Structure 1
Amino acid sequence: MKRQSRRMKRMARSHRRKKTQGMNLTSLMDVFTILVFFLLTNTSSNEALEPPKVITLPDSVAESKPRETVTLMVTDEEILVESESVVATADVVNSEEIVIAAIKEAMIAQMDKAIVATETDREGEQEDAAATEGEDEPAQPPEVNILADRGIPFRLLKKVMSSCTDAGYTKVSLAVIQKAAQG
């Protein structure tokens, strides 16, 4: 019987170990990590307006989602433009004026954001359509989204909308909760 040298025994042991090793999953884990990151970043940007807990929006079967514009919230206690308090709701209800100066001034201050948002939407629509060549379309009017609790009286909403249109916002959208169409 032959005696094996120590070197041969070592080589045989290391050769057996290499055969029993599993797959290397590092690259597969990298791909899954990138995929999860991609899905998380893209799904969070598709959400529309998220109403605060203080406001209960009315239901609607509208199919179009609101665009990114200036947001005006009407709660039971105050009126907010872009999450900044402008005036107390009770003061607006008790006021005899149809156009509320504080709301008008706050909306005029946000006009730059509204114009940028409508231009961005317009450029996206032009890229999608790509049918108009050489034609200059008139500038889109600024738009405002109003988030109001379903219990807010109409006379208050009328004053808020009048203040917005007096500030130059001709497109006024009321935010609603989208529910399935019945039919």
Structure 2
Amino acid sequence: MKRMARSHRRKKTSGMNLTSLMDVFTILVFFLLTNTSSNEALEPPKVITLPDSVVETKPRETVTLMVTDEEILVESNSVIATEEVINSEETVIEAIKQAMIAELNKALLVAQAGDEEAAGDEAVKQRPPEVNILADRTIPFSLLKKVMSSCTEAGYTKVSLAVIQKASQG
């Protein structure tokens, strides 16, 4: 009986050994860090020489107008508080119109001061001014209507609303 009691005293169960578990997690972390790269460019194999590409048309320059809950920004410059526009009875907001005209004039000055090849390009001169409107989905349409009216009054004939495109369910 004494012998069994001594035997049970000596057989204290040890805690769980976490060393091997930590090794596995360390290897897993290194694996995830090395295989999750933000580099989206596809590197061609050295045995393949890819052809060079030349872009004929330059990307279109557009003005960005952002509507937040607090303010309306044209090219990241605050123009007017959103609450003022919501409370306004006018369909054309003069502050937005003036900011858009200023951006249009700035774009015309850049086109005139640019190199002669770009300034002489008829397609660039005849392209209608464009504006991209970024607005939160909670912004009321009456506010967006006032913003779009102000843009068209300023001379912007192509007004686009930025959205997130999802695949169709059909």
Q: Secondary structure at the match of 2:151?
A: helix
1:140 paired to 2:127: yes
1:80 paired to 2:73: yes
Q: TM-score, normalised by structure 2?
A: 0.54
1:113-150 CA-to-partner distances (Å, cap 9, x unmatched) read 55679xxxxx9xxxxxxxxxxxx668121000000111
Q: TM-score, normalised by structure 1?
A: 0.51
Question: Which residue of the other structure, out of 172, 176, 179, is the alignment partner of 2:159?
Answer: 172
C-alpha separation between the residues in 2 aligned to 1:80 and 1:110? Answer: 12
Question: Which residue of the other structure, out of 149, 153, 156, is the alignment partner of 2:140?
Answer: 153
Offset of residue 112 of structure 1? 4.1
Q: What percentage of residue pairs aligned between the two structures are identical?
A: 78
Would you identify which runs of 4 or more consecutive aligned residues in structure 1 move more than 3 Å? Answer: 112-117
Q: Counterpart of 2:130 in structure 1: which amino acid?
A: E
Aligned 8 A contact 1:147 1:174 in 2: yes
Report the equivalent of 2:89: 96
Offset of residue 182 of structure 1? 3.0
Offset of residue 179 of structure 1? 1.6
Offset of residue 79 of structure 1? 0.2
For the aligned residues, what is the CA RMSD?
3.2
Q: Secondary structure at the match of 1:177?
A: coil
C-alpha separation between the residues in 1 aligned to 2:163 and 2:144? Answer: 14
Structure 2: 5+ residue stretches without partners: 1-38, 43-58, 112-116
Matches within 5 A, 1:21-170: 39=41, 68-112=61-105, 139-170=126-157
Compare relative contact order (CA 8 Å, sep 6+) and give the higher one, 1 or 2.
1
- Flag the 1:76–1:169 CA change in 2: closer, same or farther, 3 A: same
Q: Counterpart of 1:84 in structure 2: which amino acid?
A: N
